[in-house]
Structure 1
Amino acid sequence: MEVVHVVAYDCDVLVVGGGIVGLSTAYAITRAAPGTRVTVLEKEPGPARHQTGRNSGVIHSGIYYRPGSLKARYAVRGAAEMTKFCAEYGIPHAVTGKLIVATDRAELPRLHALVQRGRENGIPVRELGAAQIAEYEPEVRGLAAIHVGTTGICDYTEVARRLGEASGAEIRYGAQVVRVDRRPDRGVAVLTARGDIVRGRALVNCAGLYCDELARLTGDEPGVRIVPFRGEYYELARPELVRGLVYPVPDPAFPFLGVHLTRGIDGGVHIGPNAVPALAREGYGWGVVRPREALATAAWPGVWRMGRRHWRYGAGELRRSVSKGAFTDAVRRLLPAAEERDLVRAAAGVRAQAVLRDGGLVDDFLIREGARAVHVLNAPSPAATASLPIGREVARRALQALDTR
């Protein structure tokens, strides 16, 4: 006689990670397939405690991203959807527009390329001469600039909280996953640090800074390693110097936008971030060191190849990290009126940057699938902006995984 194993599932889809991408995925699953049981496991005592809640709060337009890339498609679509979601749920937000300012002649060709890229992505862009910059930002100086009207700001922590509520998912906080047992014929079971076992028919990995480790716990080789980069911020003691959002022209060789000025939804002005390697996945300061994590990062060949390729850029970022004067100099390129005493240290963030074995920095969103599993392995900026369309894509794959026999 054949023995039939009957598995009692706690849910259909088990989402690991209570940041904005995980909660958006839960929201999208229950919208696309009402009645699907979703459980979200988040190790922190509340939502959005890491990347989602530790950024500038910008709703990005999508101007920076290669036409046709997931970043470009999802950011342009996501910006409009995020603004609508905020309005629908009464979440503080504003469509402010932003300036991207060239302060050196060498940046002018890159600024012009951004104009072309913006138009290819369907984003309205206005080109400005030096004298026209003052129409938007009287204290900002530059050789030329572009104004991007669709950029905005919002409270992403509140967005994440409302996504979780609206999803109807069961959300368990304080539930750190320490073990995963996946069997293609019987779904996925996870063990949490406090001893709970949760069983689902499929798993979605939205673990952010630990997404590569969770993929390996599941039995899938991600092909990348997460390298944590700390972004250090200051607050501007004289926020009246800046009306809205002011950015430098980014270097296309790097997935970082450079030190910029962002008036937040609370009226304060954030300055930063820089980007320096962190000594822990949640290394929000130089004093936070986790030897196991640091050694695991150093053991990935791509880290050393990346370092050899980009050491000059990294040296500049490190200098701004240890020298407030150097950080102030970067700010004064855009805002000459700023003085060192105007910069007040603020909370830092850590970006989960996926790095390939050859040292390449993964520039686009990266979503991979395994048996009964979907792994979000790179979701850098503009992931918060694009979280609604990203959530739908991850949800689509998760629902397909439920059909696995």
Structure 2
Amino acid sequence: MQTHLSEQARSLPRAQEAEAILRSCVHCGFCNATCPTYQLLGDELDGPRGRIYLMKELLEGQPPSASTRQHLDRCLSCRNCESTCPSGVKYHNLLDIGRAVVEEAVPRSLAEQSLRAGLRLVLAEPVVFSLLLRTGRALRPVLPSTLRDKIPEEVRPAGNRPSVRHARQVLMLEGCVQPSLSPNTNAAAARVLDRLGISTVAAREAGCCGAVDYHLNAQEKGLARARRNIDAWWPAVEAGAQAIIMTASGCGAFVKEYWQLLERDPHYADKAKRISALAVDLVEVLRAEPLQDLGLHPDLKIACHCPCTLQHAQRLGGAVEEVLTRLGFNLTAVPDGHLCCGSAGTYSLTQPELSRQLRDHKLNALESGRPQVIATANIGCQTHLNGAGRTPVRHWIELVDEALTHTPFHHHQTRTTHADQAATHLG
């Protein structure tokens, strides 16, 4: 695609990157075939190819409008189009650049500004979120459905976490909303890893990964959170931590991109590259371990929902399914497993109607094999799908942990030896 960026666009910090992405697009349209919003709305401008044209016009000097912003807002950032694109167009990076320009050029209404500022304040601050969640649970019966669906009626409490006792140690990002919405997820991960000879350590100073701010066009705030996390993790990294584990695939996708987001920062570029190299999704660790040593014999029929941030951003589609199958779970077939559930970070709150349609389509597909439970790998998807009040949705590691509670643990020394030999699997 030929481009002629305006002088103003050429002054942007990521101008060369934007131009390179635009030129890599051959406007073939394959992306529209797998775009959830294009499938729902049938509008070229609500598909990746149309949005690329809009951003091309924007960067070539055409003034954006509220309509331009609406079409970009409707994008889920699911990156399904990137998995489909034969030219390797880095669409999500262009979208970040384009959205930032439009945000500055086309002011939002006071209501939209308030909603987005409120989401950034609440979701990225665990203490604030926990307080408001408790309040919301008390008021749940009288809340509008958009909010009520996001508040679980009950929360499964976290069990005990094992003490740090193994030579192999990893950091674990606690997350911002997960400790309140599903406190047992990280605890379950710690228990399973402990059975495999790996101890988890929490860096309490690390907070929100920065994705909430960044994807709500407060990009500098998101990068500031990334720098804070790097500072929080760095002492442990220097001390030999073998990996930084994420149990929420959305966080993992963002932390793995710290290196790119901070590559122009002379103070953090090298550190960010190291942090991104150490960042792994939980499933990447488990699939490299001797799972047969766990001796599980689960009797559970599961439908697996692979979040977009796992399959399209991290390119780990099928990894959770592989681990669960190796552990003996009975997995049902899920048609159109590549499509987004409509959660997409804060999308379910900023675009509630589209989000609900996508959720219902996804649940119909997940429930087609009549599973007892739906397993996922991201707290946003888990909360969004559970909001429909249909088949229960759990993080997959909780299901593994529960199966372990019925399995005797007799071979600790053997597993520790296995773990020592497999130390290179981490990082």
TM (norm. structure 2) is 0.29
| Greater strand proportion | 1
| Greater helix proportion | 2
